[in-house]
Amino acid sequence: MYDINWTELGKEVGIGAVLGFAVGFAAKKAMKMVLILVALIILILVALETQNIITIHWDYAESAFQKAAEPEKFLEIVSNFFQKIARYIPGSGSFILGCWLGFRKG
């Protein structure tokens, strides 16, 4: 009835899963590095403020952070990223699953 090429299907799913795992793993590692860098910058700025070298307007910094850290906005960015990537990679379902597994493992 249907002529399914199992070898080709396996390649597409396998490639998608492996690439997804690599992207998820790398994304988590990159996020960790960015967070460490941001923490170091904040520590340096706080140290400079305690020495009265600079003045930090914490109310402005807090409002900017709250705008950037809204869960809906973050989920929208992540969702758009996965939708764009999944269009171009064979086996997009396995790519998304692999990406999720790589993010959890990383």
3-state secondary structure of 84: helix
So what's the pLDDT on residue 18?
85
- Give the model confidence (pLDDT) of 27-73 as tens digits: 899 999 999 999 999 999 999 999 999 998 989 988 878 877 777 87
Domain ranges in the chain are 11-105
State the chain's mean pLDDT as an integer. 82
Per-residue model confidence (pLDDT) at position 73: 76
CA distances from 34 to 39, 41, 47, 81 (A): 9, 11, 20, 18
pLDDT for res 98: 85
